[in-house]
Structure 1
Amino acid sequence: MNPKVIKAYAPGKMYLLGEYAVVVENYPAIVFSLNKGVHVTVKSASKFSIQSTKYNNEQASMELRNKRLYCKDRRYRYVLTAINTVLAFVGNPEPFQIEIDSELDNVDHKKYGLGSSGALIVATIKAIAQFYDLSFNLKDLFKLSVITQYRLSPFSSFGDLAASVYGGCIYYQKGRTLHLKRTRNPHRLMRVNWDDFIIERLRPQNLHYVIGYSHLHASSTKLVKQVLESQNTMAFNRFLSDARDIVIQAKTAINKHDNDSLFESVRAYRDLLVRLSELTGVDIEVDFIQQMNDRVYNLGGVSKSSGAGGGDCVIALAYHQNMKTDIIKAWESLGVEIISDIQLDMEGE
């Protein structure tokens, strides 16, 4: 009999607006999925094993104990946690080999900071569920992905998962996570009410944009933890209120196809992140990111760091193609890597 082979894919993400506020329940963000992501292949095998192109396809073994898989290689903890979330729904799991290939790293296998961890979780859950003939709809897939990511990083917004599951441009709002704190049982968690997690499709039009990689690596988890140390202050509450207003204004602008107003929202949120940095002492817009932004604004465009900042990527919006070309030249003169093959997904599925 031919071995069973399952292939699954999930796209990466890029935040446009809402960073830091979105990790707090009931505060929105706007996030795009990308045309690149993570591919996961699962094959029938005689034993459980895992490998990734990022680690030269060196095979690591996994051991099944009490219907959970264990692996000594800590580099695979995200994959392993995702697998075990699904195994809670499997009676007697047959062995498999799982292979991972990410399109969200550069040639040196350095992550761009475009949601590869979230895409990996989603693609793994999709692949393992299909391998064991489990049927999950998109809402179920999102829930399982959140359950997985919460175990790894409870400070997450889970917005990257929404983008990876649903695709396109998403207006996203994190709901309550109290149930995730109370139980680790996936069966119970799937049955509770998740309706306060808001995921709405937006359809921007005629956006000229550039994505640039700063070559500076940033730890989102570390930066978010540092910022949240100021969470219970009046100044942080003002930040949250202002962030919500800007994101809602941007949502309205996208729905009305009013790119001028959308650009103003991006400008306002960049200024808000600078204020947040001053409030918390966390270096969100580091010197090189500021240089990247300054070049864009000097040319008449708008830009901001995407995600937690501190490095990784900047997204710039231009009013026309000639301005976009000028931004690319200006960034290249700084040594910025222009990520031209990774594009925003405007439509989704």
Structure 2
Amino acid sequence: MNNKHRFHIPGKLFLAGEYAVTKPGQPAVLTPVDRGLQIEANLSAGSTGQIILRSDQYEAAYQTSWAAVSAIRAADLETGSWTFVRAAMAVFYQSQQQLDFDNLPTVELTISSSMKAKEGKLGLGSSAAVTVAIVLALHAAHLEDDDRLAVFKEAAFAHYLVQGSGSLGDIATAAFNQTIFYQAPAWLADQKAFEPSDFTNLDWSLLAIDALEWPSNWSFAIVASRQPASTRKALAQKIDLAPLFEPSKKAVLAVKQAIEASDYEALKKALNENQQLLIETLPEGYQTEKLATFLQLLDRLDLAGKISGAGFGDNGFVVGDQAHSLFPMKTAARVAGLTVID
């Protein structure tokens, strides 16, 4: 038995398809980013049935037992700290009933994150990364497997139990750590109050997680506004997404084809189409002043890129190739009060 496991869990950015992707079967393209977190799992031979978690985001450790985890219900995840961690453990418990949890060796989990800066969160999917990290570490420690699809499914449901919205694309990107073409599973449309025990009855049809190979001669950078936005609050505005579905799908498929063909000009065109669609469809405030400035810089410098994710703050991204250097964007962004993160 391997008593020590260590993983890197990436953050994510939506390249195309956000908002529309919350409907099962609607596609999106996402990519992992270097900023993420590390998790280390150590098994203890001295005790059983316990979970001890340490994080550089909290001063005190969190300790619980599998007996306590077995009693977690959805209502317990509505308030308090460590909610995504508790949800991840609860779903792992429900999905792995073949394990003798009372007699499992105690596992100590240690998390360190690079998903915050001195100015605060970067908006790269930290809650998704934490949820995936816990499930992945528990799989490695107690099942000795690296089944990324199983990790995704457990982490996706756990994250949804806490957040109650979203597409789960950030979970898929964190679990598989690669650029992906993604579609959400059918159960997201159920509109019901789930419990951790519902995990085994979920309908995973319509789910798609297909790897895309990022062109080797394309560069990529995050353009951070340092104004983190809440996807949950954005979706809570009850936006009519129906006008997005068909044109968003068309733009996403064009982005996918551009990546597969290493066609930079096609990528630029498809991203711009998706961006204009979002601007026209989403409510006022989607483009903050800083994000509007970022889009102006993209146009002036003739670079491929877009606002990523919920809008209302957070980040954009920019793509370069041999004919399109990112250096001018780095200079112009700094002058505009934006931060470029390679």
The interval holding the TM-score normalised by the smaller chain is: 0.7 to 0.9
- Once the two structures are superposed, what CA deviation does each residue of 1:14-44 show, in whole Å capped at 9, x if it has no partner? 1110111111111110001123422222333
1:14/1:306 contact within 8 Å kept: yes
- Residues 69 and 93 in structure 2, CA contact (< 8 A), matched pair in contact too: no
Assess, with a 3 A threshold, how the Cα gap between structure 1 residues 85 and 136 changes in structure 2: closer, same or farther.
farther
Alpha-carbon distance in structure 2 between the residues aligned to 1:14 and 1:230: 21
- The structure 2 residue matched to 1:230, chosen from 231, 234, 239, is 239
| CA deviation profile, 1:319-340 (whole Å, cap 9, x unmatched) | 5466411111000111222212
Query: Cα distance 1:121–1:299, how it changes in 2: closer, same or farther (>3 A)?
Result: same
Structure 1 unaligned regions, length at least 5? 341-349
Residue matched to 1:163? 173
The structure 2 residue matched to 1:81, chosen from 74, 77, 87, is 87
* Amino acid paired to 2:195: R
State yes or no: 1:143 paired with 2:153.
Answer: yes
Contact 1:16-1:306 at 8 Å conserved across structures: yes
Partner Cα distance (1:99, 1:73) in 2? 23
Give CA-to-partner distance per residue, 1:256-311, whole Å, 9 cap, x none. 2221111101111111111122xx34x11111110122122112223321111111
> For the Cα contact (< 8 Å) 2:251–2:270, is it kept in 1?
yes
Please state whether the residue corresponding to 1:292 is helix, strand or coil: helix
Is 1:120 the counterpart of 2:120 in the alignment?
no
Contact (CA 8 Å) 1:180, 1:189: kept in 2 or not? Answer: no
Per the TM alignment, residue 202 of structure 1 is displaced from its structure 2 partner at its CA by 1.4
Q: CA deviation at 1:96?
A: 3.4
- Shift in CA distance, 217/230, structure 1 to aligned 2, threshold 3 Å: closer
Identify if the C-alpha distance between structure 1 residues 107 and 189 changes in structure 2 by more than 3 Å, giving closer, same or farther.
same
Aligned-pair Cα RMSD in Å? 2.8
Query: Does the Cα contact within 8 Å between 1:67 and 1:92 map onto a contact in 2?
Result: no
Distance 1:264 1:59, change over 3 A: same
User: Partner of 1:337 in structure 2?
Assistant: 339
CA distance in 2, matches of 1:273, 1:180: 24
Cross-structure match for 1:174: 184
Work out the CA distance in 2 between the residues paired with 1:66 and 1:161: 22
Q: 1:198-213 to 2 correspondence within 5 Å?
A: 198-205=208-215, 206-213=217-224
Going from structure 1 to structure 2, the CA distance change for 1:259 and 1:11 (only over 3 Å counts) comes to same
| Inter-CA distance 254–48: structure 2 relative to 1 (3 Å threshold) | closer
1:60 aligns with 2:62: yes
Distance in structure 1 (CA, Å) of the matches to 2:256 and 2:69:
47
- Deviation of residue 193 (structure 1)? 5.0
Provide TM-score, normalisation by structure 2: 0.85
1:194-214 CA distance string (max 9 Å, x none): 241011111231223331111
In 2, the alpha carbon distance for the partners of 1:201 and 1:132 equals 27
In structure 2, what is the Cα distance between the partners aligned to 1:72 and 1:199? 29
Q: Is the Cα contact below 8 Å between 1:208 and 1:317 reproduced in 2? A: yes
Q: Equivalents in 1 of 2:69, 2:311: separation in Å? A: 41
| Cα 1:28–1:72 shift into 2, 3 Å | closer
Q: Scaled by the length of structure 1, what TM-score is found? A: 0.84
Matched ranges for 1:93-132 at <5 A: 93=102, 94=104, 95-107=106-118, 110-132=120-142
Q: What CA distance in whole angstroms lies between the structure 2 residues aligned with 1:112 and 1:84?
A: 28
How many residue pairs are counted as aligned between the two chains? 327
Sort the Cα spacing of 1:48 and 1:26 in 2 relative to 1 into closer, same or farther, 3 A.
Answer: closer
Structure 2 gaps of 5+ residues are none
Closer, same or farther: CA 67–239 of 1 in aligned 2, 3 Å: closer
1:86 maps to amino acid: F
The answer to whether the Cα contact below 8 Å between 2:11 and 2:115 also exists between their aligned partners in 1 is yes
User: Partner residue of 1:289?
Assistant: 291
CA distance 1:33–1:209, shift in 2 (3 Å): closer
Partner AA of 2:6 in structure 1? K
Aligned residue type for 1:59? A
- The 1:190–1:338 alpha-carbon spacing in structure 2 relative to 1, beyond 3 Å, is same
Q: Distance in 2 between matches of 1:16 and 1:101?
A: 26
Determine the C-alpha separation between the residues in 2 that align with 1:168 and 1:224.
26
What amino acid is the match of 1:298?
R
Return the alpha-carbon distance in structure 2 between the equivalents of residues 252 and 292 of structure 1: 25
User: Aligned AA for 1:25?
Assistant: P
Which segment drifts farther, 146-155 or 89-98?
89-98
- Paired residues of 2:161 and 2:196 also in contact (CA < 8 A): no
Q: Does the C-alpha gap of structure 1 residues 204 and 130 become closer, same or farther in structure 2, counting only changes over 3 Å?
A: closer
